[in-house]
């Protein structure tokens, strides 16, 4: 498909209803075949539940499971493990839960406790051997997966001065990035000598970073760039020397600000996600979804991305999450305060 502004559109395929409160987060299963489905999406909500959506043979989406009666407050984040067999959820009840697909249904096989209050985000490392959580208590926890559905906390990372909004592992290195209400982005890695985790870089306003709460981040598939989004109404592209030949965090390069995307949303940007095909999606409190594509003629100090599509009124209320399907690169899911999830297709204008 030729991605040129005006030649493509974001076409709504289906509206998924069932949650009775705002939908906070989404996660596509990277290996849905292990759960017997051609495609699978998890959503989590203020209604204290997680819903599992399966694509049927007709292409339509149905809710195949409701995971409830485990969390007692809002479920704020959900993430599938790389194997597709486990789903981690993070809740305002101060716990995270691990769900496993057993037989034909999902069972809660572990509950992770330790955060003082709301857990805001959960993320699996590329190997699936580490899990990160973060929360309102200003901390980031790293958990090591043990045999028998046991999870051992191997580090509690303290460095943020406010609520930590999101954690995300690098696509192939054991390098973790966190973003916070303190307006900063922190990069964490393990010291090869002591096995201690520590902050190796802080990106803030002084380093061309954000001037208000940073809500989310996403890496490009190569792992050498990331995008962050903020309450300051901008998304920022960052570049580093990381490349796929490096197998550990020890040789990673420092992140540097590449460009700022501004003037596209007029309220807080809550979510960004970088697709396999290089398209960045952003969702915001202005009810809109924007799609950006990288330019080949990168000039110094010029935006490295251009607006491809802006979908006004994508939802009736705030767009809290946007997520590209990892296997079908033109398929996008979005979640909203209006209680719905939408499945979109990036398609040629007919």
Q: What is the pLDDT of residues 309-347, one digit of tens each?
A: 999 999 999 999 999 999 998 999 999 999 999 999 999
pLDDT in the model for residue 241 = 63
Tokens of 341: 């999830």
Q: What is the pLDDT of residues 297-310, one digit of tens each?
A: 555 556 689 999 99
The 3-state DSSP class for residue 200 equals: strand
Looking at the domain covering 8-348, what would its CATH class be?
mainly beta
d(CA 239, CA 300): 13
Q: How far is CA 215 from CA 7, 180, 272, 283, 321, in A?
A: 31, 7, 9, 11, 11
Residue 250, pLDDT above cutoff 90: no
Q: What is the pLDDT of residues 15-67, one digit of tens each?
A: 999 999 999 999 999 999 999 899 999 999 999 999 999 999 888 999 999 99
Tokens of 163: 């609520």
Residue 245, pLDDT above cutoff 80: no
pLDDT in the model for residue 18 = 98
Residue 246, pLDDT above cutoff 70: no
d(CA 111, CA 165): 20
């Amino acid at each position: 498909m030729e991605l040129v502004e005006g030649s493509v559109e974001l076409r709504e395929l289906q509206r998924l209803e069932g949650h009775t409160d705002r939908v906070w987060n989404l996660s596509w299963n990277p290996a849905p075949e292990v759960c017997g489905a051609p495609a699978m999406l998890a959503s989590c909500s203020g209604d204290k539940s997680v819903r599992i959506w399966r694509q049927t043979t007709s292409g339509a989406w149905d809710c195949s499971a409701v995971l409830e009666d485990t969390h007692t407050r809002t479920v704020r984040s959900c993430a599938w493990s790389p194997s597709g067999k486990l789903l981690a959820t993070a809740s305002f009840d101060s716990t995270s839960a691990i769900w496993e697909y057993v037989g034909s249904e999902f069972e809660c096989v572990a509950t992770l406790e330790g955060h003082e209050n709301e857990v805001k985000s959960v993320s699996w490392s590329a190997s699936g051997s580490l899990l990160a959580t973060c929360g309102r208590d200003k901390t980031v926890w790293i958990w090591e997966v043990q045999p028998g559905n046991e999870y051992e906390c191997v580090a509690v990372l303290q460095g943020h001065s406010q609520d930590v909004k999101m954690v995300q592992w690098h696509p192939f290195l054991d390098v973790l990035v966190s973003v916070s209400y303190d307006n900063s982005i922190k990069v964490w890695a393990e010291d090869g000598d002591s096995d201690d985790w520590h902050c190796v870089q802080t990106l803030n306003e002084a380093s061309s970073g954000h001037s208000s709460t940073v809500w989310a981040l996403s890496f490009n598939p190569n792992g050498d760039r990331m995008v962050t989004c903020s309450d300051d109404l901008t998304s920022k592209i960052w570049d580093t020397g990381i490349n796929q030949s490096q197998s550990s965090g020890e040789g990673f390069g420092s992140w540097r600000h590449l460009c700022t995307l501004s003037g596209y949303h007029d309220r807080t940007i809550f979510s960004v996600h970088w697709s396999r095909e290089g398209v960045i999606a952003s969702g915001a409190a202005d009810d809109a979804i924007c799609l950006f594509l990288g330019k080949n003629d990168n000039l110094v100090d010029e935006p490295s991305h251009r607006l491809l599509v802006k979908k006004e009124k994508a939802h009736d209320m705030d767009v809290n999450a946007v997520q590209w399907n990892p296997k079908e690169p033109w398929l996008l899911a979005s979640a909203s305060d209006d209680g719905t999830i939408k499945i979109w297709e990036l398609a040629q204008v007919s």
